[in-house]
Each structure stands twice: as structure tokens, then as C-alpha cells.
Amino acid sequence: MERLTYAIVLILYLAILAAVGVVTSRRLKTSSDFAIGGRSIGPWVTALSFVAAYFSSVIIIGGGGFGYRFGLATLWIGAANVAIGCMLAWIVLGKRIRKLTEETNSMTISEFLGKRYASPAVMIFSAAVIFLFLIVYNVSVVKGMANAIQVLMDVPYLAGVLISGIVIVFYVSIGGYFAVVWTSFIQAWIMIAGLLLLTGFTLHRVGGLAAAAEKLAAVDPGYVTTPGIWGWAGLVSFCLVVSLGTWGMPQLVIRFYSIKNTRVLRVGTVVVTVGAAVALLPYLNGAIAKIFHPDLASPDLAIPTLTRSVLPPIGGAIFLAGVIAAGMSTFAGVLIITSTSLVRDIFKGALKRDLTPAQELTFARRASVLVGVASILIAIRPPGLILVLTAFAWAVIASTNLWPMLFGIYWKRTSPAGTLASMVIGAGVAVVWPALGSPFGLHGFIAGTAAALMTILIGTALYPRRSSPGRA
């Protein structure tokens, strides 16, 4: 009966998403519609789709895994997600990105950077990093969805990968960005409802928040202190990589490209901040799962296992839909970014291939299918913990794009030479840092972005810009 309930809810939910893809495909006329929704999306849809794309199955499953592993200190990660990754990002980035990308007629981060610095090399390097490492990120998203389906529906992991992946590829390829934001808007509400439901039942079962802290302290006092058993270096590093790191993540920044106008950003900032508050709940529930299930084979199974033990079948089905919703919104957003970047930045920009608007739309749709299938195939045998895999991909992408984007919208004298050197060195350090054993306990994001910041400042001082295309 339990599996049947899960199956019915999941099938209905996936059918709704597929229907949204079919309906929104009727609005898809140009490559701009496919990539950024023709810059016509309102504040509520933009803000809640931002939340859904940000938190995904990575935060729900992976964040729960970190809560299970390190305890209540991980709540600081959720707090950083809200304050830095959402509210501050919208305040600092939103208005300027929306204005400058329209002025430069840019549809991707890489295209904007290439035009902003008048440098094809900047565009090509950014596009290559985004394309490669967003696929790595997508693998972690698919893994999170598949883990939830595997535990809650008692089906093989492979079935979870295929169920979650194929529907997304379908609605993105036919509906483009319109399908992504509208499905993400729906998915945000389902995700929020699922997390609130799980948290309510979990706290009731454990006897309240105070009782949970007391029982966790009995297991290990480090589970209820800050920084706890993790240590300051690890905690601060992850707070920054999954909050400040989002400022350079294309599938989130693209929301500012697509919003209707700068006037509605104030409403969007309030909505995104309130909606993002649910980011604390996966870490809390993951920590409490340690009380009920102290010996799980993998921390990434903490949230699915807890769900199955505390929620009734219909509640578990709703939460499963929430996890799938969160993961799908991110996976879909990444598909749009990678396919658009492949066509506009690499195929048209780097290879200098001329495409008509109709051809560009067709190529983008085909690219989304290819990238989606590649991500699904890799996710069949994924490496590592979900949040570790995510943080690595975020570290490389953010170390490449964060400072060029931030300096590009605020400091018109930033030089192309300094920018390119910053991107290469930042990405290189972020890639190599884990292989060196993460010296000083710092994550590759900290090392990569610090190296990139020093390089862009020194490079601009040594090789100043001679002209300033665009305005900041």
C-alpha cells in the first residue's frame, strides 16, 4: 500500500510537469525565449524558481547528510544560504545584472563576460568551465533524487535515476526557460510543504527541539555545539561555498537576466528571502536522524530513511515529490544553461558558426537532450557524497566567474588580461586544492576565489584597461 501511494503521487506529479512543458512550448518562438524567457518573468515566479533551483535535492538530501554527519552546527550553513546566497545576492547583483545584460544583449554569463571585457578568450574559458562542471553538478542532483526514490519506493537506484532524469529532459527540450521557471515555481511550493511536513513530524516524534538537542548531546556533545566535531575551517568553508559561491552559479544568476524589469526586484528580494528560510530544515532533520538511525551506510540516506520512519505513506509521498521537485528544478535550470552556452558561447562564439534564429532554437533543444542524457549516464555510477560533489563543482565554477561578474558590473576599469588570468588561476587552484589534501582544512572554493581575487586586482594594476565597452 505504501509503495502504491508513493507511485500514484509521483506519477501524477510527473504528469503535471510534462503537461507544463507541453503548454509552455507554445510560447517558445525564439532562442531568447528558450534561454531567458524573453526577459518577461515576474518577481514571484523568478524568486521562487530561484529558491527551488538553489536548494534542489542537493541541499535536501546532501544537507541532511551533512547534518547527520556533523550535527546542529550545520544550521549555520542554512542561515548563510538565506542571508548571503539569497537576500544579499539579490540586493548586490540583481539590478545591475538585469540592466547590463539587456544593454549588451547577453543570454549567458559567458556571453556577458566576453562582451563586457571585449575578450573572446574570457567568454570561451568561462563557457568551457561552466559546461564541464555543471555536468558534474547535475550528476549530484540526479543522485539526490535517485537516493530518495530508492529508499522511499524501495526500487533500484538505476530506476530512480531514469525516472527523475527522463521527464526533465523532455519538458526542458520542448518548453525551454518558460518550462523551467514555471515548473520550478510549482516545485518550490511542493518542496516547502514537504520540508515543513517532515520537520513537524520529526520534532513531534523526538519530543521537541530541546529534547532533540539533549539526545544528540548524549550521542556526542560535538553534535550540539559550534563548530562542533567539524571545526571552524570546514564549517566556514562550506558556509561560503554554498552561499557566496552561488553568486557565480549560472543557473541562479540567469534569473536576473530573465526578470521582467528592475522595478520588481524589490518584491522578488522579499519573496526569495522568506522562501529560502526552509534551507535550515534539511540540516536540522539530518542531525535528528542520527538519534533514530545512528548507523546508516551513507549519510546521504539520512533524510529518505527518516522520512520513511516518521511520516505516514501519504506524507512520505508528498515529501518524495518535494525532493524530486527540488532536484528537477535545478537539473532543468542547468540544462538550459549548458545547452545555451554550448550553442551561443562555444558553437557560435568560439567556432564562429552562423545560425538563423530557428536553427539556434533547434540546436539548443538538441543540446539540452545531449547534456541531460550525459548527466543521467554518469549519475548511474556517481562518485562521493552529494554535497561534497556539489561543493567541488561550485568551487570551480565560482572561482572562475564570481569576481569577473562582480567586478564587471561594478568596476569598469577591470582589465581583460587581469580577468582572464583570474579565471584560469582561480579554476586551477580550485581543481588542484582537493588533490593537495585541502591544506589548512580550507575548501577549494576559499583557495580558488582568494587566488582569483588577488590575480584580478594585480592583473588590472599591471595591465590596465585601455577602453571600457559597456557601463558599470
Query: Which pLDDT band, with edges at 50, 70 and 90, does 213 fall under?
Result: very high
Q: State the pLDDT at residue 432.
A: 94
Whether residue 295 has pLDDT greater than 70:
yes
Q: What is the mean pLDDT of residues 119-131?
A: 92
Average pLDDT over residues 114-120: 93
pLDDT band for position 387 (50/70/90)?
A: low
- Banded pLDDT at 325 (limits 50, 70, 90): confident
Per-residue pLDDT at 462 exceeds 60: yes
Percent of the chain at pLDDT > 90 equals: 40
Question: Helix, strand, coil: what percent of the chain each, to 5?
Answer: 85, 0, 15
Count CA within 13 A, CB hemisphere, residue 26: 4
Q: Which of 184-188, 329-333, 380-384 has the highest mean pLDDT?
A: 184-188
Distance of CA 32 to the CA centre of its chain: 22
Q: 12-50 b/e with 16+ CB inside 10 Å = b?
A: ebbeebbebbeebbebbeebbbbbbbbbebebbbbbbbb
Residue 470 has pLDDT above 60, yes or no: no
The structure's pTM equals 0.83
**How far is Cα 127 from Cα 367, in angstroms, rounded to an integer?**
14
Q: Is the per-residue pLDDT at 258 higher than 50?
A: yes
Q: Which pLDDT belongs to residue 471?
A: 47
108-112: which pairs have CB atoms within 8 A and are 24 or more residues apart?
A: 108/35, 108/250, 108/254, 108/337, 108/340, 108/341, 108/344, 108/345, 109/248, 109/250, 109/253, 109/254, 109/401, 109/405, 110/341, 110/345, 110/349, 111/344, 111/345, 111/349, 112/405, 112/408
- How many Cβ atoms are within 10 Å of 338's Cβ, its own excluded? 29
Q: What is the pLDDT of residues 129-168, one digit of tens each?
A: 998 888 887 887 788 778 778 877 788 889 888 887 888 8
**What is the reported pLDDT for 386?**
60
Q: Could you give the CA distance from residue 178 to residue 24 in angstroms, rounded to a whole number?
A: 6
pLDDT at 389 over 80: no
* pLDDT at residue 365 in the model: 85
Centre a 10 Å sphere on the Cβ of residue 289 and count the other Cβ atoms it contains. 27
Band (57; pLDDT cuts 50, 70, 90) = low
Residue with cell 522520512: 307
Please report, for residues 235, 307, 341, the alpha-carbon distance to residue 78 in angstroms, rounded to integers and kept in the order given: 11, 20, 30
Q: Give the mean model confidence (pLDDT) for residues 192-219.
A: 94
- Parse the chain into domains and list their residue ranges: 2-21+41-462
Instruction: Name residue 342's amino acid.
Output: L
| Average per-residue pLDDT for the chain | 87
Of 63-72, 280-289, 340-349, 380-389, the poorest mean pLDDT is in 380-389
What average pLDDT does range 365-376 have in this prediction? 87
Report which of residues 364 and 75 the model is more confident about: 75
pLDDT at position 467 is: 57
Q: Residue 215 has which C-alpha cell?
A: 539526545
pLDDT given for residue 33 in this prediction: 83
CA nearest to 417, candidates 466, 348, 345, 344: 466
DSSP code, position 233: H
Write down the pLDDT at residue 384.
59
User: What whole-number distance in Å separates Cα of residue 303 and Cα of residue 308?
Assistant: 9
Tell me what pLDDT residue 23 has: 86
pLDDT value at residue 160: 85
Whether domain 2-21+41-462 has CATH 1.20.1730.10: the reply is yes
pLDDT in tens, 240-251: 888 987 888 888
pLDDT in tens, 3-50: 788 788 878 877 887 888 888 888 877 778 887 887 889 899 999 989
Asked if residue 194 has pLDDT above 90, the reply is no
Please give the pLDDT value at position 35.
79
On whether the CB atoms of residues 358 and 34 are closer than 8 A, the answer is no
Q: Please give the average per-residue pLDDT across 388-404, as a whole number.
A: 86
Q: Would you say how long the chain is, in residues?
A: 472
Nearest alpha carbon to residue 201 among 294, 51, 360, 311:
311
* Measured distance CA(269)–CA(66) in Å, rounded: 28
For 185-199, 256-270, 307-321, which range has the lowest pLDDT when averaged over its residues? 307-321
Position 422 scores a pLDDT of 97
pLDDT of residue 179: 83
Q: What is the pLDDT of residues 73-89, one digit of tens each?
A: 999 999 999 999 999 99
